[in-house]
Amino acid sequence: MKKLNRRNFIKGSLAGGLAAAATCNAKDAKAAGGDFGGYPDSMGVLVDLTKCVGCRTCEAACNKEQGLPEPDKPFDDFSVFDERREGGLPRRTTEKAYTVVNRYEVEGRAHPLFRKVQCNHCNEPACLTSCFVNAYTKTPEGAVIYNPKVCVGCRTCMIACPFYVPAYSYSSAINPVVKKCIMCYDTRLKFGRPPACVEACPQGVMTFGKRKDMIALAHEKINAKPGKYVGHVYGETEVGGTSWMYLSDVPFAEIGFDTHLGKEPIISHVKDFLAIVPMVLCIWPALFTGFHLLATRKQTNKENSTKA
């Protein structure tokens, strides 16, 4: 099966425009940006937030599966739920943790609500469409993966992602690269196995299957127990749909979900911006050097300042 990469997106979105003519064969231009809607048989995960007990096993599982560095605190240390970033925000994903669980105290709810955060694997990923160097791929299985060898660490995707997912590794000062959840593509998804966090979760918070089946299941669950869930499946339509979707008994806006993203993929907003991409490709070597220098200098500055 053909993989959907940024190039297809450009083809689709510019519909035979300059970019398409310059970069590809017209016959490949199938995936129309804006209404692509995802691969029909792609896999998905339905996260039932009512079931999560905040045990952090998914975090430990991800750490081991992805070979991530030692965490700052043990995975059975629940004081992480009290950690706050700037602006009083709870934890976000980092280059050392592709998934984090956060706690929300909800008035009137018997227990706090716990919410696991990771890449949502958008049908039409803003990280992918925004990447100048074509580092990202949306696989037919649904995962949004990236090629660290191509990434120049420019951080455009970090800004483009509506869910604040991509983080950067600074372990190599010369080549900072993007780091994020890949839906366990390399080790599991591509072999038809569920992600490590899904399998490890003791509560069965996450259900893995074809995305379309997950959508049907979500609505079945909502209808089966009227009043239990809020009547919305987060991710079914947001930004063109995501592979990871959520059910909740608390309005999504109250537990840190952005409910103003709309149904349009982010790509639709950046079409004009994308028109300059082919040009960017032409001047690519120069840009590459530029980004590289910038990234390196920034890191060197950082190191100098920490040394001082």
Partner 1 sequence: MLGKIASHYFAGKSRLLHEKSLYERLAFSFILKRREKMGLKTGKLIGLAALIAMTAPLALPQKASCEVFELNSLANLFEGVSFDHDMHIEAVSDNCSVCHHHSAGTPPTDATCIPCHLKSAETDSAACNACHVNEPFSSASLEASASNPLLHHKVKPGLKAAYHQNCLGCHQETGGPVGCQDCHALTEKGEKYYNTGQFAPKPGKSSSHH
Binding site for ligand SF4 (CB under 6 A): 52-58, 61-62, 65-66, 98-99, 101, 114, 116, 118-122, 125-127, 144, 161, 163, 165-166, 180-184, 195-197, 201, 203, 205
Q: Is 76 exposed, middle or buried (0-12, 13-18, 19+ CB in 10 A)?
A: exposed
Least Å distance, CB 100 to partner 1, is 12
The residue among 11 and 121 lying less far from ligand SF4, judged by its C-beta, is: 121
Structure tokens at 208: 């893995």
Least Å distance, CB 290 to ligand SF4, is 24
Q: Is 207 in the site for partner 1 (CB under 8 A)?
A: yes
Q: Which of 16, 148, 174, 202 binds partner 1 (CB under 8 A)?
A: 202
Residue 228 interacting entry, from ligand SF4, partner 1, none, C-beta within 5 to 8 Å by type? none
Pick from 138, 112, 91, 100: nearest CA to 243? 138
Structure tokens at 236: 């079914």
Least Å distance, CB 208 to ligand SF4, is 10
Q: Is 40 in the site for partner 1 (CB under 8 A)?
A: no
Q: Is 197 in the site for partner 1 (CB under 8 A)?
A: no
The residue among 204 and 285 lying less far from ligand SF4, judged by its C-beta, is: 204
Q: CB of 65 within 8 A of CB of 299? A: no
Q: Is 183 in the site for partner 1 (CB under 8 A)?
A: no
Distances (CA, A) of 193 to 43, 44, 116, 163, 186: 10, 12, 20, 25, 10
Site for partner 1 (CB under 8 A): how many residues? 41
The SS3 assignment for 206 reads: strand
Q: CB of 54 within 8 A of CB of 114? A: yes
Residue 29 interacting entry, from ligand SF4, partner 1, none, C-beta within 5 to 8 Å by type? none
Q: CB of 66 within 8 A of CB of 197? A: no
